[in-house]
Structure 1
Amino acid sequence: MVLCDDGECSVCLLPYSRMDKIPRVLHCRHTFCDPCLDTMSRVRSGLLTVPCPLCRRVTCVGRGLSLQEALWVNNKLWEQIQEDVESAALEEDEQRHRSRNQSNLISHPHTFPLFRREMKSWRRLSAHETRG
């Protein structure tokens, strides 16, 4: 199995997120996302176990606890997700703003004629007017 960049799970190869693909640390200190950990987990003798796909060490979770309750979130990756989310949100806002401006020009018939009306009122200044 190939180790991925810190920003993505090495099982599903998808980036971590703060909503559904939270990076959690096994006892061997390898990190995987919640959905992959859920898929890899098994119940054995009443204990929830997760074998690490990288080193094969088995993480055991106490009785009555879920993986989300028992495993720590990888704080280093969590902080990187925040930065990525903020920059992605800013970029998404910019794209929405651009597409809204383009759709306004196309979908609103009053915008373009108003612009043409304003253009008709423009005129060139003579050389005498620009010097003075």
Structure 2
Amino acid sequence: MVLCEEHECGVCLLPYTRNDRIPRVLHCRHTFCILCLESMSKCRGSLLTVGCPLCRRVTCVGRGLSLQEALWVNSKLWEHIPDELPEEEEEEEDGQQQSTEGGRMKPRDDPSQR
């Protein structure tokens, strides 16, 4: 068995994220990212089932619910996941960091004020 870091999925070994690798808790209280849980899930009649890769206990979801709707987010892990910024905001922050000199912010060069 491969040991993983506390803040990464035990199946794919990738860190949890707030967008696509959301940590979801199975009924056995083991946590894995939703992408891995969805790939391991099976339809059995009107039930959606997921077998835990650690303890083998089966989590069943019924009545037309998806795994995202039925499984709780692991709030303890969620608090430690850094907020992800869209690429545009990251570029703006990089531009602001480059425009600082001596701890002071320089005004951005606005072509409309020329």
Amino acid at match of 2:58: V
Unpaired runs of 5+ in structure 1?
87-91, 102-132
Q: Is the 8 A contact 2:49 2:58 kept in 1?
A: yes
What residue in structure 2 maps to residue 76 of structure 1? Answer: 76
Instruction: Give the TM-score normalised by the residue count of structure 2.
Output: 0.73
Choose 1 or 2 for highest CA Rg. Answer: 1
Distance 1:98 1:9 in 2: 34
Unpaired runs of 5+ in structure 2?
85-89, 100-114
Q: Tell me how far 1:99 sits from its aligned partner.
A: 8.7
Question: How many residue pairs were aligned?
Answer: 95
Q: Is the 8 A contact 1:28 1:59 kept in 2?
A: yes
Distance 1:99 1:74 in 2: 34
Instruction: Give the TM-score normalised by the residue count of structure 1.
Output: 0.63
Q: Tell me how far 1:47 sits from its aligned partner.
A: 0.4
Higher relative contact order (CA 8 A, sep 6+): 2
Identical-residue share of aligned pairs (%): 70
Q: Which has the higher strand share?
A: 2
Q: Equivalent residue of 2:60, what SS?
A: strand
